[in-house]
Structure 1
Amino acid sequence: MRFKGRAADLKLLDRQLGTVTAGGTDSRGRAVIMTGRRRVGKSRLAQEFCDRSGLPYVMFQATRGRRPAAERTEFIAALSGLPGADLVAGLQSGDWNQALRSLAIALPDDTPSIAVIDEVPWLVEQDAEFEGALQTVWDRYLSAKPVLLVLVGSDLSVMEALQAYGRPFFGRAAKMTVRPLHLADVQAMTGLDAADAVDALLMTGGFPEIVQSWQKGMSRKAFLREAASNPLAPLLVAGELSLLGEFPETSQSRAVLEAVGTGERTFSAVAAQAGGGRGMLPGTLSPLLSTLQTKQVLVADLPLSTKADSKNKRYRIADPYLRFWLAFLQRGIPLIERGRGDLALERIERAWTSWRGRAVEPLVRESLVRLLPDDGWAATEAVGGWWNRQNNPEIDLVGADREPVARAVHFVGSIKWLDSKPFGGREYQALARDMATVPGAGADTPLVAVSRCGVDEGIPLAAHWGPDDLVRAWR
């Protein structure tokens, strides 16, 4: 399958390789830590980068649960394509220090090269000495070679720890995060108009294997019908595969994710849902929520205004696809497997409008942050929402100079994301009424809107944005 998108990620890697190729620094080698959610396409990106480079390279992927001795043997075997492979052929490595020194021997001295070690967290898990060996061999041997070393891993907490102060490899690598395909990439790959591309992103999350299964020009309903007729469709199986890699079905973390994914947003509501009939104790839930946020699977949003409000958190699943999967597909898969995909589709259609209205909010805010500041909002660098403890009212958009506590509120706004109804007078009057509850907003605070179907004539908004603007933010 032809590689698509990822132009910015490839350019970033090219820049690091360019530093290696140019030389002129004390350390000839460069190291990059590549992180990102599971199944986001890190391995495919690394392979494409190596193939395009035209340079000698080695790609080694660790295997979870393998014995360290067997892993090292496989690592040595993977060096067979390097110029100096004959120098290390048949060597037995008693530890990772020797195995990584074999890599240094096999790499060329006078030609730039690339070494990719994939699933690094599994190597750390298998052998506590791996990190120290990596630091020692990098400092003494690998950094003296013209090599770009790319360390890849999906466990974000482990990859973050690799470069933490006090850890062996601290300060030795640049960091890049591979994210799902963005809105403009999704539109280009699906051939949809801007509004429908937003729907496609909310369903696929920008995960490459799912987006690539979306035939160009196919409508949302047609895509869902196709998936519902095939229990092995990427849209269905990627969610479970992604979750099982980190959160077994019986784990408490999985229960918390499912509670948030099915619509619970507050601490107390998540505790009640995740804990079953008895509820989950705060002392149990708090560290679980913290871990899920560290892994960047869960996000805790705070109201944005000029008044601090750290207790009024609202939780959500970080990536749109997993949010969609937990809300609809997890329960729908058993139906699809027994040939009743029609029932699963009916469930989605009944709840689609209300679910999408909530799910699109983070994408809208992130898109506006990319569009602003501009000539109209020169000092606006944060866009969030505001709510009180009763969620009455809830303000969809608050533009400010900073977050989480603003010095000044620059605008207050509403998101109306319906298929056929534009933002009209009724929505404007509700926004004008509710804005007074936002700390920092006043009678003269500008009002704005984001709408899927435009804005009625004569509505006195300071600004409004639509689907095309959201796509433009990502180009």
Structure 2
Amino acid sequence: MRYYVDKIYIDSIYMERRMSGFVGRFAELAALRKRLSRVSETATGTAVAIRGRRQVGKSRLVQEFCDSAGVPYFFFTATKGVSPVEAIASFLVELKESGLPVDPELVPESAPGGWPDAFRALANVLPQAPAIVVLDELPWLSEQDESFDGVLQTAWDRLLSRHPLLLLLLGSDIHMMERLTAYDRPFYGRADNFVLAPLNPSEVGQALDLDAADTIDAHLITGGLPGILRSWPQRTAPLEFIHQECADPAAPVFGIPEATLLAEFPTPDQARRVIEAVGSGERTHATIAASAGGTAGTVPSGSLSPLLRRLSQEKHVIAADQPLSTRPGKPTLYRVADSNLRLYLAVLRAVHDLARRGRPKQAYDLFVRRWTSWRGKAVEPLIRDALELAAASGTVPWPNAEVVGGWWNRQFNPEIDLVGADRSPVASQIYFAGSIKWLNSPFDRHDLKALLASVRHLPGFEPGESGLAIVSLSGAGADLDTADVDLIWGPAEVLSTWG
């Protein structure tokens, strides 16, 4: 099997995928091919649990892999809300109609013993050569039958793993998929864990054929979700795309984040109110408590603190940022982790309401009014990620900067956009500090003066030793004295870190 490919071969694959609407994912496909190769070499089974948020492209990635793998496969997608009897009946029908069984007539029409019999039927028709079995939306199967996880483990240990089988387990409920392979669960230690992230900014640029600045805007709008990118015509500027979508209330840019919110938090409970408070711009524990409490009063700390931990550490819907310096700092700031959902809660939901009322012009005007200020803050995590990647690759002056964050005090005066250090949240060394100006005006001498005044308050920043970095959408102004600046980046440099 060919894993190493030269540039010409990669280019030909890229063109074929772009024509079919599938872009990027070279690393992910290579990881799956590696495991299929292991199955072929050892003639035993390998299981992989793939998790990621809705519309991130899990099913499409695995389908692309199955289509190109050159081995028989069976792809089963569970249906939410059906009974175990209906799910098993569907499983057997689709197994019989797939290209997996050597003899489809050996697949029974029913499984009187439930999932144990269904998995036994699967094992009986597996070929002796390598094959792939995909169970998509696995959390729905566990939801329908509490014993499903244990049955799957037993079937894997006693039947399926003895065959040259690659078992792919997919799910959009990130917490439930994490629990599937947790130490206290039946499938612990039996599957490789694979987190499918959204497309990175470079892949978004490849999909849409945009320049660097527009690519970064497109990534912020879509969150790198293929489900939205497929509706975005190539070489269409971000504002032009939004203008077109405002005339279509059913557009994915509105529908996908709305569906994600409803799927993860179907009832307007306290968790939903907290997410909406964070999405509307509340960043601190105190302001979130006040906003999420509404007319009922402030949410008690004893309720809010564990809820924020669950939303950040289990659900991964919210990100918690701590000030980065050589001293412990407060407060922790919260944000919606996914930029598309963050944009929906802050801007697109109101835009969508106008679009549904048949007012596309007013909808677009509202987006334009809110876009610039929202983008200026939303781009910060992406730029920090870019600087971390650049430091790891040695393409910036601070290769030992393993983490890049920000710093602020309790008064948020000053608030520093960029801090590069050796560890977080309490560093032993600050390598650089910097400022982000993501506006249509260049970074000028007034901005530099403000940065120099701010870094004097940053614990661990040593003038003459720690560096200064500037990241600007519109570059550096003609009046800027760059003698004391170690790094000036624009959109092209930010985007280049993803290759």
Range class of TM-score, shorter chain: over 0.9
Q: Kindly provide the CA deviation profile for residues 220-268 of structure 1, in whole angstroms up to 9, marking residues without a partner as x.
A: 2211111000111111111111111111252222211111111000111
Letter in 1 for 2:390: L
**Match 2:390 to one of 355, 371, 377:** 371
Letter in 2 for 1:434: S
The residue matched to 2:456 in structure 1 has which SS?
A: helix
Deviation at 1:302, TM superposition (A): 0.6
Between 337-346 and 143-152, report the one with greater CA deviation. 337-346
Letter in 2 for 1:417: W
Distance in 2 (CA, whole Å) between partners of 1:17 and 1:321 is: 34
Letter in 1 for 2:24: G
Indicate whether 1:346 and 2:365 are aligned. Answer: yes
Asked if the contact 2:21/2:230 (under 8 Å) is kept, the reply is no
Letter in 1 for 2:162: A
**Match 1:290 to one of 285, 300, 309:** 309
Matches within 5 A, 1:294-313: 294-309=314-329, 311-313=330-332
Indicate whether 1:134 and 2:157 are aligned. Answer: no
Distance in 2 (CA, whole Å) between partners of 1:103 and 1:406 is: 53
Q: Residue 265 of structure 1 aligns with which residue?
A: 283
Asked if the contact 1:57/1:114 (under 8 Å) is kept, the reply is yes
Distance in 2 (CA, whole Å) between partners of 1:90 and 1:342 is: 56
Letter in 2 for 1:64: K
Deviation at 1:153, TM superposition (A): 0.5
Deviation at 1:270, TM superposition (A): 0.8
Aligned-residue CA RMSD (Å): 1.4
Q: Gaps (5+ residues) in structure 2?
A: 1-19
Asked if the contact 1:418/1:452 (under 8 Å) is kept, the reply is yes
Distance in 2 (CA, whole Å) between partners of 1:469 and 1:67 is: 53
Letter in 2 for 1:352: W
Indicate whether 1:463 and 2:463 are aligned. Answer: no
Q: Residue 164 of structure 2 aligns with which residue?
A: 146
**Match 1:219 to one of 237, 243, 262:** 237
Asked if the contact 1:73/1:93 (under 8 Å) is kept, the reply is no
**Match 1:426 to one of 435, 442, 446:** 446
Asked if the contact 1:306/1:408 (under 8 Å) is kept, the reply is yes
Distance in 1 (CA, whole Å) between partners of 2:105 and 2:494 is: 54
Q: Residue 47 of structure 2 aligns with which residue?
A: 31
CA spacing shift, 1:93–1:471, aligned 2, 3 Å: farther
Q: Kindly provide the CA deviation profile for residues 54-90 of structure 1, in whole angstroms up to 9, marking residues without a partner as x.
A: 2111111111111111111111122112224322232
Q: Kindly provide the CA deviation profile for residues 131-160 of structure 1, in whole angstroms up to 9, marking residues without a partner as x.
A: 111111111111111010000011111111
Q: Gaps (5+ residues) in structure 1?
A: none
**Match 1:242 to one of 255, 260, 264:** 260
- The 4+ residue runs of structure 1 with deviation greater than 3 A are none
Q: Residue 11 of structure 1 aligns with which residue?
A: 30
Indicate whether 1:474 and 2:490 are aligned. Answer: no
Q: Residue 438 of structure 1 aligns with which residue?
A: 458
Deviation at 1:178, TM superposition (A): 1.0
Asked if the contact 1:79/1:106 (under 8 Å) is kept, the reply is no
Distance in 1 (CA, whole Å) between partners of 2:337 and 2:112 is: 41
Asked if the contact 2:347/2:370 (under 8 Å) is kept, the reply is no
The residue matched to 1:437 in structure 2 has which SS?
A: coil
Distance in 2 (CA, whole Å) between partners of 1:93 and 1:197 is: 54
Distance in 1 (CA, whole Å) between partners of 2:150 and 2:160 is: 14
Distance in 1 (CA, whole Å) between partners of 2:63 and 2:112 is: 26
Deviation at 1:372, TM superposition (A): 0.9
Percent pairwise identity = 47
Q: Residue 205 of structure 2 aligns with which residue?
A: 187
Q: Residue 352 of structure 2 aligns with which residue?
A: 333
Letter in 1 for 2:90: E
Asked if the contact 2:40/2:130 (under 8 Å) is kept, the reply is yes
Aligned length: 469
Deviation at 1:4, TM superposition (A): 2.0
Indicate whether 1:401 and 2:450 are aligned. Answer: no
Q: Could you state the TM-score of these two structures normalised by the residue count of structure 1?
A: 0.96
Q: Residue 62 of structure 1 aligns with which residue?
A: 78
Q: Kindly provide the CA deviation profile for residues 186-212 of structure 1, in whole angstroms up to 9, marking residues without a partner as x.
A: 111111110111111111111112112
Q: Kindly provide the CA deviation profile for residues 387-416 of structure 1, in whole angstroms up to 9, marking residues without a partner as x.
A: 111211110000011122211000010001
Distance in 2 (CA, whole Å) between partners of 1:34 and 1:156 is: 9
Deviation at 1:442, TM superposition (A): 1.9
Asked if the contact 1:96/1:129 (under 8 Å) is kept, the reply is no
The residue matched to 1:255 in structure 2 has which SS?
A: helix
Deviation at 1:336, TM superposition (A): 0.5
